[in-house]
Amino acid sequence: MEFLGSLFAAYSVIWIGIFLYLLRLTRRTRQVEDEIEVLRKQAVGPR
């Protein structure tokens, strides 16, 4: 089982990379939803 650490490191990089990218997309989606809410309020005006 020589170089098991290298194998683990290489696979971890890819899994963590995919996870972080999907997390970033989720956060950005939430930001966009917030922006839509602000726009909706601006369009409707103060009640």
Partner 1 sequence: MRLQNVCDRWLPWAAGCGMIIALYCIFLVAPTERDQGIVQRIFYFHVSSAWTAFIAFGTVAFTSGCYLWSGKERYDQVAQSAAEVGVLFCSFVLITGPIWAKPIWGTYWQWDPRLTQTLILWTIYVSYLMLRAFGGRDDLVRRWAAVLGIFGVIGIPIIIVSVRLLPGIHPAVLMTKEGTSGLPDPRMRLALYVTAFAFLLVFTWMVHLRTRLQRVADRIAMMQADLRAG
Residues that bind partner 1 (CB under 8 A): 1-4, 6-7, 9-11, 13-14, 17-18, 21-22, 25, 28-29, 32, 35-36, 39, 42-43
Count the helices and strands in the chain (H runs, E runs): 1, 0
- Distance (Å, rounded) from C-alpha 9 to C-alpha 19? 15
What is the nearest approach in angstroms of partner 1 to the Cβ of residue 35? 5
What is the nearest approach in angstroms of partner 1 to the Cβ of residue 18? 7
What is the nearest approach in angstroms of partner 1 to the Cβ of residue 4? 6
| Dihedral, 19, 23, 29, 33 alpha carbons, nearest 10 | 150
